Structure 1
C-alpha cells in the first residue's frame, strides 16, 4: 500500500515542477518552490515566515520579526562589561541575490564591521546564506564568519541558528527515537503557573494550562544531546499533521569533537541548531580570536525540512520520514549546489583511511583491534586537544570491529589524527601531520595505541568510556519528575539528583569495598557537596577499601583517575592517612562545565596518573581517600569515568 506520506510528497514534487520563484516585496523577499514559501526580512536576513501545508506561518507570529528565525552569537571584547557578553542577533545591512533560476535560488545577507560599530556588534564580516531548490520540501541555510587583519580581539561563547515556532500549532517535540513527547506551553513557565527551582532554566509546573503537566519539571538542559547524535530534531503539529525539522548532515563545523553536548529543542516551542557553545565545557571552549588575527569559518549548511500527512494517520510517521530525509542529506554530503567558494565541493576535498589497534600487554600479549574507537582529524595540537578546539574544522568516524576506519570529503588543510577507544583510558595522537589537498588519498599503516599502563591491575571501578553513566544514578525526588525520563536509559537527566546524595548518605560519606561493592549500585554517579543545616555546603571524602596480600614496599604503584567531568572542584588523594597535608596528590581547582546542574553525565575529560610509593601501603587492608574540597554551591563536584590501581611493573 502506498503511504499517505508518499502520496503527499509525490504531489509536492509535481507542484514544484514550476520551479523556484523569488518575490521581492517592500521590506521582505520570499522564496517559493511551490511546496513552501519562506519569507526573509530585507536587508536584515531574519526568517520571518514559513508557509506550508495550509499553515500561514509555522513561526511565532506574536514575536517581533527579528525573534522568529535567526542566526545569533554571544561575544565579548574590549569595553564589554556584561559578564556573559553581548547577544548579537546578526542583523545584516546588505542583500544580494547570488543565484536565481528555476532550479535554485541562493540569497546573501551580509554585514561588515567597521570602527564606528565598536562595542555595538561583533567585529566580524558575516554572510548569511539561504538556499531553496526546486525539489526538496525545505530550505538550506549556512553562514560565513570572517575576522580580518587589523580588527580587534574578540571572544565568542555561543553561535546558533534558532527558530521560535508557532505555539498554537507545534506541541510535540522529537529529538531521538526514545526522546519524544508532548511538551508544556511557554505560558506554563510564567510566574503564576510555575515555581523557579535552583536556577532560572528549571521550573516546577504548578498550574499548567494542560493538567497533564502539573508537577513536572521543565528545563531546556534536559534535552541536550551529544554532537554525534544531533542529526535531526524538530516539532510536530497534529492538525494538520505537519513537521518542521532541523537536519545537520555533518558536524565538521561544530566545536570540540563528537561527544560535545549541545542544546537542541525545548519549550517555546524552540528549535535550535547550536554550532558552538561553552555548555558542558566552560571557559576552556571560548572561541578566542586575537587582535588582528585573520580567521574564517563556514557554519552549515543546515537543512530545514518540512513534511506532512495528506489525510491524517499516525503523526509519528513524520518523525520516521524526517530520519529518512536525514539519511538522504548525509549521503549527499557535501552538497555541490552551494555558491560560496568558501565551501569546498566533494572534488575539492580529500580522503583518509587506516586501521587502529590497541597494545596493552597486561590485557593481551598481542595487539587487538580498536573496535568502536572514535577516530578524528582535527587541527594539529597536543594529545586530546580536540576536545577544546573550536576555531577550525573536525572530522570524526568510528572504527569497525576490526579497527578499520575511513574519512571521506575532508576539507583541505593540515590535521593530526586523534582517537580514543572505549574500554581503554587516555587519548591517542598520530604524530605525523596529515596534509589534505583536493583529491588526495592518505592510506595509513596500522596505528598502535598504547594506553597508559605501568603494571597489572589490582582493582578497577567503572568502565573507561568517558562517562559516569554506568554508576548508580538514583531515582529523582518524586516532587521533581520529568515523565520522559521515567524508566529511561537517560535517567541522569532528571532534575535535582545532586540532592539525593545527602539523602542516601545522611551521616557518613560513601565507602566502597573492592570485591564486595558493586559500582553499579554502590558508587554514586557524582561526588557532590553536602548541604548543612545552615544552608552552607561542605566537601565530601569518599573511601576505597582494598587488600594487598603481596606488597612490594620498594615498588611504585599507580592510581589512574579518569574523570568524566569537573565543576570548580579540587580532588585530593590520600593513602591510609586522610588528613595528611600536603596530600599525596591534588588536581588543584579544575573545571567549570556545570554538568551536574545541566543534567549531563560527562563534560571535559581529565586523566590523572598518581604514583603511590609502596611504602605508603600496608600488607592487608588499605584505604584510598578521595576528597573533593570545594564547597560554595551544590553544583561543585566531579564525576568519575574510571579508577584503577596498578601494581609495580612486572
Structure 2
C-alpha cells in the first residue's frame, strides 16, 4: 500500500487515483479508475488488453447478454486498472439497491451465467499489434453464430432446438406528431420476466432477450429460453416505456408472431417547449472540459468525453455566483444546459443545493386549462427534485420526487443510470401571460456527488376542446 500511495494520489472516492509517479511515465498526471472502463450491456461483447512486446491479445468474448441483469442499457465494468478483465454477472453499479439480488426465506432460485469465451491471439510483427483487436471482433462474430453453445452438459442450459422465437412489429401513436401510426424504427424490444412497466431495468433474477427494430419497426428475437415473459420496449425520440399486458409463454421450438404492437407515449396536449432529446441519456447536454489537473488523454475529443474525472466540480466554476438559467427560444441545450444538476461547494467546505430556472413566455393562457410538465431523468443519486412554478419560495412545492436514486452515475463517469419519468400537473392558474419561470431545485446537499441528470423536459399545453 505504501508503494501504491507513492505512485498515486487518492481522490474523492477510493477507486480514483491521480497518477503522480506511474511505472509508465507517459501517464503521469492522469486520473485512472475502473469506472472509466464501463460499458452498457448492449455494447459489452468483446473487451480485453493488448501487450505490444510481444504483440499478444487477451480477450473476453460474451456472445449473449441473456443472463445479464438490468437490460441492454445497464452499465457494467469491463476492466480494472492494469491488465484485469472482468465478467460481471450481477452488479448494482449505476443502479444501486434496485439491482441487488434479494431472495426471500425459502425462495428457490437458480440461474446460468455465461458461458463466456476467453480468447488469446498474437502476431509476430510489432507493427500489427492493433490488428489483434480486429481479429478479436471477428472471433466474436463467430461465437455469436455458435450461440447457444452445444457443449454445456446441463439441463439448465437449453440448446437451440429447446428454445423459442418471437417476432412482430412495433409502431408509435402520438396524435400530436401524426394522425397515423409511426414505425418505431431503431426501437429496443425485449422479453423479460413479467412485471410492471419499465421493470426490466430493475430485474436481476431471470433472463432477458433484446433486439433493435428495423426501419418499419419489425423485430425478431430467437433462441429464447422457455418461460413466461412480458414484451417491453422503448423508442428513442419518445418518452416513457412500453409493455404489452399479455404474458407470452415461450415453449421449446415455438415461433410466435405477435403482429402489430402500438405504443402510445405519455401525451396530454401539444408541445409548448422542450429541452433535450428523449433518449434516456444526458449526453446531448453541455459536457465541460475537465480540470487540467485531472485530464485523461484517452477521452480528449472522444464521444465519451463525460468519462473525465471531476466534471461535477466544473459546475461551480461555470456558475460561481448563481445557478443555471435557461431561456426557451434563446438558449441552446447543447451549450447552456449543464449535463448534471449537482451541489455547489461553499467556502467552508460544506455543500448547498442548486435551483435551475427555465424561463419562457406565453402569449395566451387558459386559466382553467391543465398543462403538463414531463420530467424524464437519466439518473439520480440521493437526490430530491422539487418543482415550483413562478414562485421560488412556495412551500410546499408544486411537486417533489421525494428522495430518489442510488445510481452513483456522477462519480462513476456515466451519462445515465436508471430512467425515471415524472408527470407534473400544472394548473393554468399558476401561469400568466408573458414571462413565466419553472424552478427546479435539488435539495439534498451533503455530498458533491449527489444530484440528477435530465434526459428530456417538455411542457405540454391543454388539449384542444375537440381532442379525443
Judge same fold: TM > 0.5, yes or no. Answer: yes
**Offset, 1:189:** 7.8
Q: What corresponds to 2:21 in structure 1?
A: 207
State the Cα deviation string for residues 457-503 of structure 1 (Å, max 9, x = none): 00000000000000000000000011100111100000000000000
Q: 1:389 to 1:590 in 2, by over 3 A?
A: same
Q: 1:201 to 1:369 in 2, by over 3 A?
A: same
Residue 302 (structure 1) aligned to one of 102, 116, 124: 116
SS at match of 1:297: coil
SS at match of 2:293: coil
Q: What corresponds to 1:574 in structure 2?
A: 388
Residue 328 (structure 2) aligned to one of 508, 514, 517: 514
**Offset, 1:550:** 1.6
Q: Which of 1 and 2 has greater Rg?
A: 1
State the Cα deviation string for residues 87-128 of structure 1 (Å, max 9, x = none): xxxxxxxxxxxxxxxxxxxxxxxxxxxxxxxxxxxxxxxxxx
2:192 aligned with 1:192, yes or no?
no
Residue 139 (structure 2) aligned to one of 320, 325, 328: 325
2:133 aligned with 1:316, yes or no?
no
Q: What corresponds to 1:344 in structure 2?
A: 158
SS at match of 1:299: coil
Q: What corresponds to 1:587 in structure 2?
A: 401
SS at match of 1:546: strand
Write the distance in 1 (CA, Å) between the matches of 2:230 and 2:2.
49
State the Cα deviation string for residues 499-556 of structure 1 (Å, max 9, x = none): 0000000001000000000000000000000100110000000000001112110000
Write the distance in 1 (CA, Å) between the matches of 2:451 and 2:31.
23
**Offset, 1:341:** 1.4
Residue 501 (structure 1) aligned to one of 315, 322, 330: 315
Q: What corresponds to 2:344 in structure 1?
A: 530
Contact 1:493 1:599 in 2 (8 A): yes
Q: What corresponds to 1:429 in structure 2?
A: 243
Q: What corresponds to 1:374 in structure 2?
A: 188
Q: What corresponds to 1:449 in structure 2?
A: 263
Mapping of residues 208-223 of structure 1, within 5 Å: 208-223=22-37
Which consecutive residues of structure 1, in runs of 5 or more, have no partner in the other structure?
A: 1-186
Residue 394 (structure 1) aligned to one of 208, 229, 234: 208
Write the distance in 2 (CA, Å) between the matches of 1:379 and 1:371.
24
Q: What corresponds to 2:169 in structure 1?
A: 355
Write the distance in 2 (CA, Å) between the matches of 1:628 and 1:325.
47
TM-score (norm 2): 0.98
**Offset, 1:210:** 2.1
Contact 1:188 1:207 in 2 (8 A): no
Q: What corresponds to 2:463 in structure 1?
A: 649
SS at match of 1:351: strand
Q: 1:345 to 1:300 in 2, by over 3 A?
A: same
Q: What corresponds to 2:74 in structure 1?
A: 260
State the Cα deviation string for residues 375-412 of structure 1 (Å, max 9, x = none): 01000000000000000000000001110000000000
Write the distance in 2 (CA, Å) between the matches of 1:311 and 1:457.
59
Write the distance in 1 (CA, Å) between the matches of 2:459 and 2:167.
36
Write the distance in 1 (CA, Å) between the matches of 2:360 and 2:412.
34
Q: Which has the higher contact order (CA 8 A, sep 6+)?
A: 2
**Offset, 1:219:** 1.0
The alignment's C-alpha RMSD in Å is 1.1
State the Cα deviation string for residues 224-274 of structure 1 (Å, max 9, x = none): 000110100011122222111000000000001000000101323211011
Structure whose residues are more often strand by fraction: 1
SS at match of 2:432: coil
Residue 427 (structure 2) aligned to one of 606, 613, 618: 613
State the Cα deviation string for residues 108-159 of structure 1 (Å, max 9, x = none): xxxxxxxxxxxxxxxxxxxxxxxxxxxxxxxxxxxxxxxxxxxxxxxxxxxx
Contact 1:196 1:202 in 2 (8 A): yes
Which consecutive residues of structure 2, in runs of 5 or more, have no partner in the other structure?
A: none
2:243 aligned with 1:438, yes or no?
no
* Poorly superposed stretches of 4+, deviation over 6 Å: none
Contact 1:188 1:209 in 2 (8 A): no
Q: What corresponds to 1:110 in structure 2?
A: none
Write the distance in 2 (CA, Å) between the matches of 1:610 and 1:450.
18
Write the distance in 1 (CA, Å) between the matches of 2:388 and 2:125.
68
Write the distance in 1 (CA, Å) between the matches of 2:436 and 2:154.
64
Contact 1:551 1:614 in 2 (8 A): yes
**Offset, 1:276:** 1.1
